[in-house]
Chain A
Amino acid sequence: MAITAGIDVGSGAVKVAVMNMDDCREQLAAHYLERIRRRDVMEVVEESLAAALREAGLRRDQLDYIATTGDGDVIPWRTGHFYGMTTHSRGALFLAPEARAAVDIGALHTRAMRFDPSGRVLQYQMTSQCASGSGQFLENISRYLGISIDEIGPLSLSATNPEKCSSICAVLAETDVINMVSRGISTPDILRGIHNSMALRVAGLLRAIKVEGTILLTGGLARDTGLAAAIADKLKEGGGANVSLATHELSVQAGAIGAAIWGAFRHHKLARQQEAARGGT
């Protein structure tokens, strides 16, 4: 029996998950997400953890392990830290037990990972120091188009004639978009065009790690149904008959959930070690 918290500090938002773990059951007791929006990150972390604990009806001192992930290693009072791809894989497995791969599309980076049934990361790929196809980019575009983030997905899905967006660079793509607007291309067609070009990259990452079976979309952009559809299409085009893409309403929490689960795992291991040590004396 262990109660653990996972804190995923991202560049766009802080996610917290509280897990109730015993030998045969992993149960999500509470979760919370707070966007950072130019505030002090530590403040947001404290607030979010408090909110999640409130929801779970727990006190902080009842936590057996506080696990961080993402940029969470700056948190001084953490028990341990796990890296993003470790936690997203485990979180994905929790949300979709049949998944054998996950793509995490966050504000800045995209990561694709393949894992085994125990959540062990077998292979991964990550984008580097270029923002083309990142969440941040999509956010900028949507701002220019005057739509809110939640509208992106549904609008993109209603596209009839997606416009090709050719620029590799997110900044130059923005100019492309501006041009599209002035040429009278509809917002859905523009969005879907962007989604298609993002999907191409994501599909590339996925193919690079040779995924098969179910892939869970995690991270903030998992909520973007338009992007999900575009990725699914691209995977199909690439001849991936045996891959399928899934999302989950809690996808954005995958990192935090994974961290909490690994925290419990470590907690048990440490406890056993201690016991063994005590037994030995």
Chain B
Amino acid sequence: MTAAVKDLSQDRQKQMISAHYARLARAKEDGRKVVYTFVPGNLTELLNNLGLLPVLPEINALQSGMRGKTGDYIHIAEKAGHSEDVCTYVKADIGMLKSGNIGPTGEPLPKPDLLLLSYTGCFTFLKWFELLKREYDCPVVMLHVPYQGDGRITEPMRRYVAGQLRDVVIPALETLAGRRVDYDLLRQQLALSARAEDDLVWVLQSARHRPSPIDAYFGGVYYIGPIFTAFRGTTDAVEYYQLLRDEIRQRLKGGLGPVTPEGTLQEEKYRIVVEGPPNWTSFREFWRMFYGEGAVVVASSYTKVGGLYDRGFRHDPSRPLETLADYCMGCYTNLNLPDRIALLEKYINDYAADGFLINSVKSCNSFSAGQLLILRELEKRTGRSGGFIESDLVDPRYFSAANIKNRLESYFQMVEAKRART
């Protein structure tokens, strides 16, 4: 494998993450407070500023999914009365909780001292923490983030969110931390965030080259890791993205395709844009169905759920609360449907994709409701072939490998046939 350089950034990421889990495991002894919160619209800078440690239940759920545990967890949650129909992230989390709350490193996760419900782009988050509140009996702080119903962030929306940050969220976090927010530090953190964001965008946009040096979906979910989790606004993140950027620059120079679990992809046969989250329980198998056919994902919307930076938004140190508000309201699932369609259309054109594919996950209404309209509209507007597959995030019952393979094969053959004609 040509990925000796690649390993550096990956190792770095692994170290960062395991250090984080180690901190969590020691949190209680070290007297540090733990805040559970969600990925989209996370307020990592604020938490770090106050020395609070974040736990992201979604990340736990997806990690459990990758480690093949969610089947059991979901079962446990369903036994406890949860419906088969609802979001499996929630059920995986509840199942994990009821099985001792063992984190991905094998150590138990600390209980929350506070649940920070910043609910961006999905109503299920609200229910999720209502449920956790009943398990942990700790305070919940709600940050209501309005939706971009009309496709833009208005001043009243911004004032509303910034006001809640000022009047509700920050006081609660300060009380918990026992100290005040250090605004100078916050400004520095936000500047670091912006730097990492620049590099992330550069990396994701490298897929415009042919062949693309990255896979913006299967590889992309690793690249966004550090920003999504606990590291935005830290020097760790800045360094990671610099490393990553250097590596990708090398690949570009060498004209190399993306790294796959079986080495560098030799021939880029299809360039695809993907909408929707991946499946975690059969992540490798799913990935293989792409690279096995020579398909490379050149852009994806899922890598924007924790923040959408390629339209120019960067954290702005000069107006901390407003910029955090804008960040929360700007995450991908907070865009209205016409805007999502426009964004995907732009990806298909900018990244010269042969087609686009929607992986519709059963769990997530936030993503899924309306995806079939997205499919129609994109086909109409771009003239490129659209594919549609259905699976789930972490419920192994909803990943039917044979079926998805059948559809993907048909889809790629369809793209091929269409290309041969034009």
Contacts and interface: CB of A to CB of B under 8 A. Distances in A.
Whether the complex brings A and B within 8 Å at their CB atoms is answered yes
A264 B312 CA distance: 78
A208 B79 CA distance: 5
Nearest to B75: A204
Q: Is the interface of B mostly helix, strand, loop or mixed?
A: helix
B395 to A, nearest CB: 13
Contacts of A266: none
Interface string B71-96: 00000001100000000000000000
B132 to A, nearest CB: 22
B391 to A, nearest CB: 15
A208 B83 CA distance: 11
Nearest to B402: A166
Nearest to A208: B79
Interface string B98-134: 0000000000000000000000000000000000000
A207 B72 CA distance: 14
Interface residues of B, number: 2
Interface string A27-67: 00000000000000000000000000000000000000000
A207 B79 CA distance: 7
A133 to B, nearest CB: 15
Interface in A207-239: 207-208
A24 to B, nearest CB: 40
B91 to A, nearest CB: 14
Contacts of A208: 78-79
A208 B81 CA distance: 8
Interface in B268-302: none
Interface in A170-227: 207-208
A37 to B, nearest CB: 35
Contacts of A207: 79
B100 to A, nearest CB: 16
A143 B79 CA distance: 35
Contacts of B78: 208
A208 B78 CA distance: 8
A172 to B, nearest CB: 11
Interface string B52-86: 00000000000000000000000000110000000
A92 to B, nearest CB: 23
Contacts of B79: 207-208
Interface string B347-372: 00000000000000000000000000
Interface in A68-117: none
A206 to B, nearest CB: 11
B275 to A, nearest CB: 27
A207 to B, nearest CB: 6
Nearest to A209: B79
A108 B79 CA distance: 23
Nearest to A207: B79
A208 B82 CA distance: 10
B56 to A, nearest CB: 30
A209 to B, nearest CB: 10
B86 to A, nearest CB: 15
A248 to B, nearest CB: 28
A227 to B, nearest CB: 22
A112 to B, nearest CB: 13
A142 B79 CA distance: 32
Interface in A135-193: none
Interface in B365-386: none
A205 B91 CA distance: 18
A123 to B, nearest CB: 11
B98 to A, nearest CB: 14
B326 to A, nearest CB: 45
B225 to A, nearest CB: 34
A208 B75 CA distance: 10
A201 to B, nearest CB: 12
Interface in B189-226: none
A208 B80 CA distance: 7
A211 to B, nearest CB: 12
Nearest to B76: A207
B63 to A, nearest CB: 25
B74 to A, nearest CB: 12
A41 B235 CA distance: 78
A207 B78 CA distance: 10
A58 B31 CA distance: 81
A6 to B, nearest CB: 33
B404 to A, nearest CB: 15
Interface in B391-414: none
3 contacts: A207-B79, A208-B78, A208-B79
Considering the complex of A and B, which 3 residue pairs feature the smallest CB-CB distances, nearest first?
A207-B79, A208-B79, A208-B78
